[in-house]
Amino acid sequence: MRAAARYPHDPGVRRLVRRLSAASDEFDRLWRAHEVRVRRSTTRRLYHPQVGVFDVDCESLPIPERDQRLIIHTAAPGSPGRAALDLIRVIGSESFSPS
């Protein structure tokens, strides 16, 4: 759990780890082994009301001094995800409701 590493003295996080460890031998074993990977890139499936469902690449960049993350969604040129992102850029804040 990244939260436990980031906030090691947080009582809520510590309480959660204790409860999970007590409830699951597997969790307890994995937690004690510290086999934790931080995934910074992945593929995400997104939904847009006018465009529908599409896949994009997602990068998560930590900004530790502000305790924030910058999330960047991209798609390869020529991919359906890229076409969807391009369409969203054109749609912008247009309203499609009847007047």
pLDDT for 29? 86
pLDDT for 33? 82
Give the Cα separation of 69 and 39 in Å (integer).
13
- Residues 60, 43: contact at Cβ < 8 Å? no
pLDDT for 95? 66
In the block, which residue shows the tokens 């999330």?
Answer: 71
Question: pLDDT, tens digit, for every residue of 4-61?
Answer: 777 778 889 889 989 999 999 988 888 888 765 666 788 999 999 999 999 999 998 8
For 25-29, 60-64, 68-72, which range has the lowest pLDDT when averaged over its residues? Answer: 60-64
- Residues 84, 75: contact at Cβ < 8 Å? yes
